């Protein structure tokens, strides 16, 4: 089978979507991810395309099992997202979405750091239009903040790869690690931080919770599928086994739970949940064994499907009602029963119910943690798993479709939305029920793992049972945080509140000094003017107030020029 460059079908479709309209554009958009996915079947492992640039060997397209797994995933995600967005008539969204998907595919097949950098930046530039396409003031502001973080990540990556090119005389994208000496260690850390920003590490994660909820309903599906998963892929490729990732990952898995529980915007709840799930993946990469790495990439694969499903159901709610806050919703199961059922499937998957996709991947990571002696990490991940069930498994469907009856009556989501959600729901069930024939068959590393043994199933069912019981008890006794109209800040308080207040105080101080100096100078000038004017005679006084003939002024000018020339040559 003759194959083409992996990202080319999606990129050409984006170009076609710029000019085509109606059914012609829809057919091209649907065909691109299908053709692109089939194209991957013909790719052989190894360097597909190589070249030389400024004395460095570049491999713009390199194929192995890891890149192929993410390549298949991104084409599936692109197909589902395109179907979900077919009713949208906005050319900007279609072009940006397909270009964004093509950039993600290009990034995971990049065999060198320079090519990775190019697609890294394209990810930022194409995705921000999915936020701005909502065309609200909040969307524009969030998009700018989002772009700042993404460009910062690109700058760090560029600085790191330049250092590595200088030290190693190579730009090939292989295992990097943090165990270097001298300037090479600086380069390794810069690349690490670049990947960390795109993975939404703690304190640099607010670009995600800030921007994703402000994107368009269909744009959010693209956003939730690509950027963070490219970063997870990059970490698996370059920093597998770095123990610091274990502790960063477990922090990511735990802290979003507290914010998600009190958050009113249900899409923002899912944004926090996305960070939580990435935390599991980062832990697996940090542990670095075959089981852990397989668990990390398998969970990335499954997460795109079930998180996409949940984002799609909330997007459908927003599209039909114009509301997304839990305090304003409720009772929608009467108007949107199909969307309700599909949301529950997504909730069961993210909560890792047996026979659903989250169970077969999350358990791999937790098993690897126990096997490698990370007992405290396992306990924290267990807590994080219970928290996921609370804020995503229960809170999302409960407050959107049940809870109090908001009185909103609408109709079901458009057919293309329902089709896309159904495909994702079927994927959640198939991946969870037949992992060996689906997601496990794509895993890059050798593995022997059976998720459905008595220990795993009983442990997870007990966890889910007690977590559900806790939710019911808290609700009955009015202890569960209510859905209130509010804006919650976490680390973004530093640049939304502290920084503006600090800058304002400095600005006031500088302005005070400036005003004082200006006042002093003005008073001095007034005094000079007053001293040179005779109030009694009503005319100027003093030597310089006299009237001088033209000849005298020429002499003064000539003298000043002569003095200037002497000073210049001295």
410 and 558 share one domain: no
**CB count, 10 Å around CB of 517?**
10
Segment 361-368 mean pLDDT? 94
Residue 386 lies in a domain: yes
Burial of 566 (0-12, 13-18, 19+ CB in 10 A): exposed
336 and 288 share one domain: yes
Residue 292 lies in a domain: yes
pTM reported for the whole predicted model: 0.87
pLDDT digits (tens, 9 = 90+) for 438-463: 999 999 998 889 999 888 899 889 88
Name the residue range of residue 437's domain.
Answer: 240-486
pLDDT digits (tens, 9 = 90+) for 114-142: 999 999 999 999 999 999 999 999 999 99
Looking at residue 288, its pLDDT comes to 94
> Cβ(77)–Cβ(225) under 8 Å?
yes
- DSSP 8-state assignment for residue 47: E
270 and 407 share one domain: yes
Segment 280-285 mean pLDDT? 97
360 and 503 share one domain: no
Burial of 338 (0-12, 13-18, 19+ CB in 10 A): middle
Quote the CA–CA distance of 416 and 75 in Å, as a whole number: 18
251 and 321 share one domain: yes
Backbone angles phi, psi at 263, to 5 degrees: -75, 140
Paired tokens of 542: 């003093």
501 and 377 share one domain: no
Residue 260 lies in a domain: yes
Closest CA to 377 of 393, 359, 365: 365
Closest CA to 384 of 343, 352, 348, 424: 352
387 and 523 share one domain: no
Least confident span in 188-202, 414-428, 448-462: 448-462
Segment 233-252 mean pLDDT? 96
pLDDT digits (tens, 9 = 90+) for 206-215: 999 999 999 9
Paired tokens of 466: 């007690």
Residue 37 lies in a domain: no
Q: Where are the beta strands (DSSP E) in 182-266?
A: none
- For 69, how many CA atoms within 13 A lie in the half-sphere containing its CB? 28
478 and 345 share one domain: yes
- For 291, how many CA atoms within 13 A lie in the half-sphere containing its CB? 16
356 and 456 share one domain: yes
- What's the total number of domains in the chain? 2
391 and 459 share one domain: yes
């Amino acid at each position: 089978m003759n194959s083409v460059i992996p990202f080319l079908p999606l990129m050409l479709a984006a170009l076609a979507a710029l000019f085509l309209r109606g059914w012609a554009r829809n057919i091209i958009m649907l065909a691109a991810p299908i053709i692109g996915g089939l194209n991957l079947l013909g790719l052989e492992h190894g360097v597909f395309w190589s070249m030389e640039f400024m004395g460095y060997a570049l491999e713009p397209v390199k194929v192995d099992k890891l890149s192929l797994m993410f390549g298949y995933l991104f084409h599936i995600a692109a197909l589902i997202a395109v179907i979900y967005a077919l009713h949208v008539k906005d050319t900007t969204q279609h072009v940006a979405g397909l270009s964004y998907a093509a950039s993600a595919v290009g990034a995971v097949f990049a065999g060198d750091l320079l090519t990775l950098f190019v697609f890294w930046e394209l990810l930022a530039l194409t995705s921000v239009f999915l936020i701005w396409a909502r065309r609200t003031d909040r969307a524009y502001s969030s998009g700018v903040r989002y772009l700042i973080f993404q460009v910062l990540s690109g700058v760090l990556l560029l600085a790191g790869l330049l250092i590595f090119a200088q030290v190693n005389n190579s730009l090939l994208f292989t295992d990097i690690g943090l165990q270097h000496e001298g300037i090479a260690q600086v380069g390794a850390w810069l690349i690490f931080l670049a990947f960390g920003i795109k993975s939404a590490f703690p304190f640099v994660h607010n670009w995600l919770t800030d921007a994703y909820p402000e994107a368009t309903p269909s744009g959010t599906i693209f956003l939730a599928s690509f950027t963070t998963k490219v970063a997870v892929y990059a970490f698996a490729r370059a920093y597998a086994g770095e123990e610091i990732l274990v502790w960063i990952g477990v922090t990511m898995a735990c802290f979003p739970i507290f914010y998600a529980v009190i958050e009113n915007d249900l899409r923002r709840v899912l944004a926090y949940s996305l960070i939580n799930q990435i935390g599991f993946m980062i832990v697996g990469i940090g542990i670095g064994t075959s089981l852990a790495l397989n668990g990390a990439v398998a969970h990335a694969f499954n997460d795109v499907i079930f998180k996409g499903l949940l984002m799609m159901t909330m997007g459908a709610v927003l599209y039909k009602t114009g509301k997304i806050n839990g305090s304003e919703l409720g009772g929608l199961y009467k108007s949107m029963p199909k969307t309700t059922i599909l949301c529950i499937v997504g909730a069961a998957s993210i909560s890792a119910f047996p026979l659903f996709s989250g169970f077969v991947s999350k358990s791999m990571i937790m098993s690897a943690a126990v096997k490698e002696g990370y007992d405290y990490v396992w306990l924290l991940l267990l807590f994080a798993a219970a928290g996921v069930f609370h804020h995503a498994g229960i809170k999302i469907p409960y407050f959107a479709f049940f809870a109090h009856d908001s009185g909103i009556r609408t109709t079901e989501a458009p057919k293309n939305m329902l089709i896309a959600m159904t495909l994702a729901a079927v994927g959640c069930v198939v991946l969870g029920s037949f992992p060996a024939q689906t997601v496990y068959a794509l895993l890059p590393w050798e593995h022997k793992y059976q998720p459905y043994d008595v220990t795993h199933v009983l442990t997870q069912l007990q966890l889910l049972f007690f977590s559900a019981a806790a939710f019911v008890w808290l609700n009955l006794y009015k202890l569960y945080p209510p859905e209130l109209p509010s804006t919650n800040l976490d680390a973004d308080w530093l640049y939304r509140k502290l920084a503006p207040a600090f800058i304002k105080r400095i600005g006031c101080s500088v302005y005070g000094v400036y005003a004082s100096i200006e006042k002093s100078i003005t008073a001095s000038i007034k005094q000079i003017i007053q001293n040179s004017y005779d109030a009694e005679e009503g005319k100027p006084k003093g030597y310089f107030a006299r009237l001088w003939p033209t000849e005298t002024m020429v002499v003064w000018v000539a003298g000043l020029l002569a003095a200037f020339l002497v000073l210049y040559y001295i």
